[in-house]
């Protein structure tokens, strides 16, 4: 491969990382209050209006409390998600050219999703900052990291890792595998605004649908990550405990899924549309 081609390919790869990071940054700033209300539903099993009223009682001062970890985590994980997916896809095309395209893309997506899990500590810290029971225990992100490391050790930062791993790989494979077919199904457009709307709709549909499918894993993750110290429980044990607390009704395991569905439409619509727009601009 010529040096100029290599430089161009390297620049394109960097663009995928940068565009993913900027798209995630915009999304977090816009949707963070919705995420906080959703988190309270997952944790306490309350209705949407009760979660919103709880945020109102806490006041504006704490509304964006805990935004730094998701800004760092999401900007990094979405960059990894899009960037590594492109990297792994290219590597597999070069080294396993005879493999079916769908299989190569699915493997690339799963590998990218697995790599994202290295940033689990940011999800862990965000969970503790958002839990109102810990408002008086921790000052900020740095304080939580210091306390967890000094008092409980490095592994405590990765509490909730298993449901994240189970969630990330399959959801990435479905996202990248279905993104093209869904966009082709949408009305054909030629204007930039039309493409932006289609990208938003495509990302929103996928994000919302996958959010419903993997919602119980997010419930397990939230319940695991609000704990500090003690034995690490499996996702199965955690979900069984949540079911007992909620009178054994599976529907209550999905408490908050409606708000999650609405949030995911906006979140993944923004991420996908912003990513594609920025990629074209660069």
Residue 2: strand, helix, or coil: coil
Q: pLDDT tier at 9 (50, 70, 90 boundaries)?
A: low
∠259-264-266 over CA atoms, to 5°? Answer: 105
CATH number for 14: 1.50.40.10
Residue 97: strand, helix, or coil: coil
**DSSP letter for each residue of 13-29:** HHHHHHHHHHHHHHHHH
Q: pLDDT tier at 25 (50, 70, 90 boundaries)?
A: very high
Mean pLDDT of 211-236: 90
Task: Say if CB 87 and CB 104 are below 8 A apart.
Answer: no
Which residue, chain included where needed, has tokens 């930039």? 192
**CA-based R_g, the chain, Å:** 20
Q: pLDDT tier at 10 (50, 70, 90 boundaries)?
A: low
Task: Output the pLDDT for position 272.
Answer: 95
CA distances from residue 8 to 5, 133, 166, 185 in whole angstroms, order as listed? 5, 51, 35, 32
**Dist CA 139 CA 227 (whole Å):** 17
Task: Output the pLDDT for position 8.
Answer: 58
**DSSP letter for each residue of 167-232:** HHHHHHHHHHHHHHHHHHHSPP--SHHHHHHHHHHHHHHHHHHHHHHTHHHHHHHHHHHT--SSPP
Return the higher-pLDDT residue of 164 and 73: 164
Helix (H) or strand (E) holding 120: helix 120-130
DSSP 234: P
Domain tally, the chain: 1
Which residues, 6 or more positions from 259, have their beta carbon under 8 angstroms from its beta carbon?
34, 37, 38, 41, 48, 51
Reported as a single tens digit per residue, the pLDDT across 262-276 is 889 999 999 999 999
> What are the φ/ψ torsions at residue 191 (nearest 5 degrees)?
-80, 160
Domain encompassing residue 63: 3-281
Task: Output the pLDDT for position 103.
Answer: 93
């Amino acid at each position: 491969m010529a040096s100029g081609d290599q430089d161009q390919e390297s620049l394109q790869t960097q663009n995928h990382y940068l565009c993913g990071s900027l798209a995630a940054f915009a999304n977090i700033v816009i949707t963070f209050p919705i995420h906080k209300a959703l988190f309270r539903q997952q944790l306490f099993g309350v209705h949407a209006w009760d979660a919103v009223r709880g945020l109102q009682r806490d006041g504006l001062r704490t509304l964006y409390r805990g935004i730094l970890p998701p800004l760092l985590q999401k900007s990094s994980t979405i960059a990894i998600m899009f960037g590594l997916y492109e990297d792994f896809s290219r590597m597999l095309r070069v080294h396993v050219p005879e493999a079916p395209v769908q299989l190569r893309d699915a493997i690339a997506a799963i590998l990218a999703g697995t790599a994202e899990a290295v940033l689990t500590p940011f999800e862990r810290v965000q969970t503790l900052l958002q839990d109102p029971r810990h408002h008086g225990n921790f000052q900020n992100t740095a304080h939580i990291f210091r306390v967890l490391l000094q008092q409980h050790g490095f592994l405590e930062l990765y509490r909730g890792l298993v449901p994240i791993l189970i969630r990330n790989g399959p959801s990435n494979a479905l996202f990248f595998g279905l993104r093209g077919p869904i966009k082709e199904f949408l009305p054909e457009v030629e204007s930039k605004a039309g493409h932006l709307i289609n990208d938003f709709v495509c990302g929103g549909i996928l994000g919302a649908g996958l959010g419903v499918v993997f919602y119980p894993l997010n419930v397990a993750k939230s319940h695991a990550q609000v704990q500090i110290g003690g034995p690490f429980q499996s996702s199965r044990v955690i979900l069984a405990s949540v079911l007992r607390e909620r009178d054994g009704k599976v529907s209550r395991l999905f408490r908050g899924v409606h708000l999650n569905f609405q949030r995911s439409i906006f979140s993944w619509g923004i991420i996908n549309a912003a990513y594609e727009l920025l990629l074209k601009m660069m």
